[in-house]
Amino acid sequence: MTNSFRTPKSTGLCFAVVLSALLTGCAPSPTQDSGEGSKQQPATTETISTVQPAFRGSGTSVSLEFRAKEPPKDFKLPWPDATPAVGIETGKQGGRFTTVSFGEGPKTFNPITSNDASSAEIIGRMFDGLIGFNNETQEYFPQLLKEWYMENPKTWILRLRSGLKWSDGKPITADDIIFTMKLIYDPQIPNPARDSLQIGGKPIEMEKVDDLTVRAKLAAPTGVFHAIIGIAPIPKHIWEESYKSGTFIQTMNINVAPETIVCSGPFKLKRYDSGERVVLDRNTNYYKYDKNGVQLPYLDELVFTYVPDQDAMLLRFQRGEADGVVQLKPESIPDMMNPEAQKKGNYKLYDLGPGEGGSYLWLNLKQGNNKNGKPYVNPVKEKWFQDEKFRKAIYLAMDRESVVRTELRGLAVLTASIESPANHFWYNPDVVKYPYDAKMANQLLDEAGFKDRDSDGVRKDRDGNKVSFTFITNKGNKVRERAATLMSQDLAKVGIDMRPQFIDFNALVTQTADTFEYEACCLGLTGGGIHPINSMNVYRSSGHTHLWNPRQEKPATPWESEIDHLADEFSTAIDIQKQQEIYYKIQLIVSQNVPIFPLWSSKIFVAVRNGFGNVKPTALSPQLLWNIEEIFVKR
Amino acid sequence: MAKLIVKRLLQAIPLLLAISLVTFFLLFHSPGDYLGQLRLDPRISQEFLDREIRRLGLDKPWYIVWASWVWGIVRYGNFGHSFTYHIPVTQLIGARIVNTFILAFSSTLFAWVIALPLGMIAAIKKDKLVDRLASGLAFLGLSVPAVLLALLAVYVAARTGWFPTGGMRSNEYYELPSAWAKMKDVGYHLILPTFVLGASGIAIYTRQMRSNLLETLQADYVRTAMAKGVPRSKAIMKHALRNALNPLITLFGFAFSDLLSGAFIVENVMAWPGLGRTTIEAYSSKDMFVVAAAVLMAAAMLILGNLIADILLAVNDPRIRYD
C-alpha cells in the first residue's frame, strides 16, 4: 500500500494493509489490498534478457543495474529511446476496461502523500516509476529510466530516456527527479516513502549531471539501490509553486480539476465521481509502442468503479457492468469456478496461487513492565510464552490443514515462513516446518512440565496454574470466526485452553503495536511487494513491526541478536546471491525459534471477461492492472 | 414567526455544542487512531508516526481539540481537514450530502404522494376492500426492515435486469447527449432506493392519514357542513383533510432525521454514493473531523426538520400561532 508505486516492489511484506486478509483473506474492510500501485511494465522476455547481470547475480531474477541496449531490430520506434512493447500480442487502440472493487475509492491522486491501496492502484496507472517491476517474471526493468548503474560503490547514475513527455507535453527531465526527491525528504510533507529512501541511515544526495542524467550519492555501498529508487517523479514545472507556498499536501486531491494532474503514466485522470467511479483516459504522450508502431496504451479508457461490499462487487461483475474483478470472497469462488458459469458469464477465472499476504498467530513475547509498572503479560504466562517448547507445541497442535480444507474451502496454502511463497526469489522453501502433530505437541508439553495433574482436561504448569490464555483477532466475517474456533478446539485436544477474542481492528492495533497488553494475536497481513529490504523492520528486534516483541532496546534473545546482525549485513551486501543467502538464513532462524506461527496464505483469484488481449494476472498486486497499457479489446 | 425561527436557532446552539463534545469524547476514548494502519507498516519509522501525531494534533487532550475545532467553525467557518483526503471536511461532505438529499427528497415525495391519497381512500371507504388492502400493505411496509427490503430490491434488480443493482449513474452517464437524458439516467437509478427508503414512510403515513381523517370526518363541523348541504367531497377536502394533516406534519419533522439514518442503510446496500458511506468509512479510519462534522450535520438536520414542521403547521392551521 504505502506508496509502493514510488518504490516499486521494494518491500517484502507490507503489514499496513492488514485487515482484509485475515484468515479468509477477504473480510470487507475500510482499506483493501486491491492494488499495490507500482506502475509496472509488462512481461517481456526480451526485456529480461537485456538485463545485464552486474555482479554475481547472474541467472537470478533480480539484477542490480541495467545498461542501455539497442532496441529490437523489428521495431520502428518513433524515436530511439521510446520503449518497445516486446513479447506481447499486438492490438488496436480503442475501447474501455472497467474494474469493480469494494470501498470508497481513492483518497487522493497525489503520488507523494498517498498511503492507501485504493489511491495507489489508480496513481500507479497515472505515474510511471523510474524503475518498474514485472509482476510476471518478478524482474526489475527500466521504466522512465533508460539505464541505471553503479559508478563506484557509493555513487550511481540514473539516466532518463530521451524524448519523454509529461501528459501536458513538457519534457520529463532530471530536474523533475531531483525536485521529487527534495519533496520526499522534506519533513513538512508527510510521506511514507522517506523512511524507505535511506541508505546507511542517511538520505540519498541527488546531483544533476545533464538534462537527462542524475548522479546519486549514497552514504554507504548497498545492493538494494534499485529496489528503493523506483520513485515516480512529479512535474516540477507544475508543483514547484505550491511546494514553495507550503500547500503541496493539498494538491492533487480528489476535488481538483482532472486536467491539472499532469502525469507520466499510460493513463491520465478524466473524471472522479465521489464514491462511484474514477475514469482515466489515454495519455497521448506515452512513450511505449508496439511492433506495428501503435502507441500504447491500447485502451481509450480505464474505469474504476466502487461498491460498498464484496457481494455488490460480484453482482456488478455478473451483470456485465465490470470487465475485471480481483478481491472475490472465498465463498463465491466455487460457483465462479464452475465451467458452465464461466461460459455463460463469458469470463475466465484465474487461480493464481497464494498471494503476498498471509495469516499469522503469535504469542506476546514482550517482557517486563509498562510505564505504569504493570507487566505487559501476566508473569505466569510470560514464563510459558518464553518457553520455546511451549511455542512449538502450540504450533504443532494446530490442525491448519483441516481449517483450510473446511473453513477456507481449500482456497489457501499452508505457510511456514513470514515471507510468502508468492515471492519466488526471496522465499526460503527450506525453513523448519511444523505440520499438525498432536502426539509431538503432547510430548513437548510433558517435557516442558505442563501436565494435566487433576485430570480435568487442562494442563497445569509446574506451579499448578491452568494453561489458559486468549488470542485477539479482528472482528469480521463468519469464516474467520469459525477458523479461530477450530484452532481453539485443536488446542483443547492437547490440554491447552486458548480462546479467541474478537475485537475491533483499531483496538487490536493499539494493543499489539502500542500498549502491548495482550496475550496472543491472530492477524491477516497483506503483502505489498517483493524486496525484503523494507520488511527488515519485522525481523529487527528494534523494529516497531517486530510483531511478537517490537521496539526492543537491545535484543532479548541471542537469536534475535543474530538476526539483527544479518539484517545489517543484508542492506550492505552488494551481491544479490549473498543477499538471498542472508534472507534465507533469517527466515530459517525465525522458523527454528518459532516466535510467530505462519498459518496460511489465501489464494488469489481474478475474474476477467473474455474478449481482452494480453490479460496476464499475477498473484502479486496489482494482480490485474500491472500491465494495463498492453491490454486491448479483441475484434 | 420570525421570532420562533430565531428562538429555535438559538436553542440549537448549545445542543449542537453538546453533541459535538460527546462525539469528540467518544472518538478519543474509543480504541485506535487514524495512524492504526500505518503503525503496522514495516516501511514506516516511529519518527514518522510521531511527527504525524503532532501534525494532526492527536497529542493534545480531546477537549482542546474540540475547542479549537469549534473555534475554527465560529471564527473561520472551517470544519477542519480530513486526515485521509487532505481536503476541507466541507468539500468532502458537500459532494456526498447532495446525493443523500436527492435520495431523501425523492423518497419523501414518493411516500407522501402515495400515502396521502391511499390513507384518504381508506378512511372514506372504511372497512371496504380498499381499506383492507391499504391496511395490509401498510403493515407489510412497517414490518419489513429497510435492510431486508433493500437486499430484496437488489436481488430483484439482479434477477430481472429491469433496474440497476446500485449506484447513482451509469458508466455512460457523461456520454449522454442532453441534460434531460442525464436526469433520466439518475432517475432510473433512483427508482429502487426511493422505493426501499419510502416504503416504511408510506406505511406510517397511510395509517396516520386514515385514522386522522376518520376522526375529523366524525367531527361536528364536518357533520354540520354536510347537513348544511356542502357536498361530501368538498366537506372532506376543505374541512376534514386540512385538520387531519396536522399530526402528519409533526411526524414529518421527525421523519426528516429518520430519513437520513435510513438513507445510510440504503446507501450501503444499494451503493448509493451518499454521506452515510463516507461517514462510516471516516469512522473506521478514525478520520475525526469528518465524523464530527457528519454527526453535527445529522443533528442539525433533526433540528431543522422540526422547525420546518412547526412552520408548516402554522401555515396549514391558522389557529396555531407562535407569538
Within the 190-249 window of chain B, which residues sit less than 8 Å (CB to CB) from chain A?
none
List A490's β-bridge partners, or say none. none
Cβ(A579)–Cβ(A570) below 8 Å: yes
Nearest to A250 among B86, B171, B284 (CB): B86
Cβ contact A18–B37 (<8 Å): yes
* C-alpha cell at position B191: 427508482
B101/chain A closest Cα distance in angstroms: 15
- The arithmetic mean of pLDDT across residues B75-89, rounded, is 90
Phi-psi region of B219 (alpha: psi -120 to 50; beta: other; left: phi over 0): beta
List the beta strands (DSSP E) in chain B. none
Question: Is the predicted pLDDT of residue A19 greater than 50, yes or no?
Answer: no
What pLDDT digit, counting tens, does each position of B147-177 carry? Answer: 888 888 888 888 888 888 888 888 888 888 8
Cβ contact A308–B48 (<8 Å): no
B201/chain A closest Cα distance in angstroms: 25
DSSP secondary-structure letter at A250? G
Spatial distance between the Cα atoms of A111 and A230, rounded to a whole number of angstroms: 13
> What secondary structure, in 3-state letters, does A527-564 show?
CCCCCHHHHHHHHCCCCCCCCCCCCCCCCCCHHHHHHH
More confident residue, A36 or A610: A610
Q: Residues of chain A with pLDDT > 90: what percent? A: 67
Nearest Cα residue in chain B from A15:
B41
Question: How far is CA A516 from its chain centroid?
Answer: 25
The Cβ-side half-sphere exposure at A93, using a 13 Å CA radius, reads: 15
Calculate the dihedral angle through the C-alpha atoms of A309, A313, A314, A316, rounding to the nearest 10 degrees.
Answer: 140
Spatial distance between the Cα atoms of A596 and B104, rounded to a whole number of angstroms: 51
A190/chain B closest Cα distance in angstroms: 7
Cβ contact B171–A303 (<8 Å): yes
Of B265, B260, B220, the closest CA to residue B243 belongs to B220
Cβ(A591)–Cβ(A539) below 8 Å: no
pLDDT of residue B268: 86
* C-alpha cell at position A307: 461498491
Spatial distance between the Cα atoms of A402 and A487, rounded to a whole number of angstroms: 10
How would you label A232-246 residue by residue, b for 16+ Cβ within 10 Å and e otherwise?
A: bbbbbebbeeebeee
pLDDT of residue B105: 86
Q: Is B174 an 8 Å CB contact of chain A?
A: yes
What pLDDT digit, counting tens, does each position of A264-306 carry? Answer: 999 999 999 988 999 999 999 999 999 999 999 999 999 999 9
Cβ contact B41–A1 (<8 Å): yes
More confident residue, A621 or A604: A604
* C-alpha cell at position A393: 507445541
From chain B, the residues in CB contact with A98 under 8 A are 171
Cβ(A289)–Cβ(A298) below 8 Å: no
Question: Is the predicted pLDDT of residue B79 greater than 70, yes or no?
Answer: yes
Q: Report chain A's C-alpha Rg in angstroms.
A: 25
Of A296, A81, A284, the closest CA to residue A167 belongs to A284
From chain A, the residues in CB contact with B48 under 8 A are 190, 192, 194-195
Question: Is the predicted pLDDT of residue B14 greater than 80, yes or no?
Answer: yes
Q: Where does residue B14 rank: exposed (0-12), middle (13-18), buried (19+ CB within 10 A)?
A: exposed
List A360's β-bridge partners, or say none. A523, A598
Q: What Å distances lie between residue B138 and B208, B260, B261, CA to CA?
A: 10, 21, 21
Orientation of helix B146-160 relative to helix B241-270, angle to 10°: 60
Cβ(B202)–Cβ(B141) below 8 Å: yes
According to DSSP, the β-strands at A358-363 and A139-142 are: unpaired
Of A107, A267, A32, the closest CA to residue B287 belongs to A107
- The arithmetic mean of pLDDT across residues A452-469, rounded, is 91
Question: Is the predicted pLDDT of residue A418 greater than 90, yes or no?
Answer: yes
Question: How far is CA A52 from its chain centroid?
Answer: 26
* C-alpha cell at position A445: 508439553
Nearest to B43 among A11, A274, A319 (CB): A11
The rounded mean pLDDT for chain A is 86
Cβ(B196)–Cβ(B190) below 8 Å: no
* C-alpha cell at position A609: 471477461
pLDDT of residue B108: 86
Q: Residues of chain B with pLDDT > 90: what percent? A: 14
List A354's β-bridge partners, or say none. A603
pTM: 0.86
Spatial distance between the Cα atoms of A368 and A365, rounded to a whole number of angstroms: 10
Q: Where does residue A558 rank: exposed (0-12), middle (13-18), buried (19+ CB within 10 A)?
A: exposed
Cβ contact A107–B84 (<8 Å): yes
List A632's β-bridge partners, or say none. A613
Angle, CA A102 vertex, CA A131 and CA A628 arms, to 5°:
35
pLDDT of residue A453: 84
Nearest to B87 among A196, A255, A544 (CB): A255
Residue type, B94: G
According to DSSP, the β-strands at A358-363 and A596-609 are: antiparallel
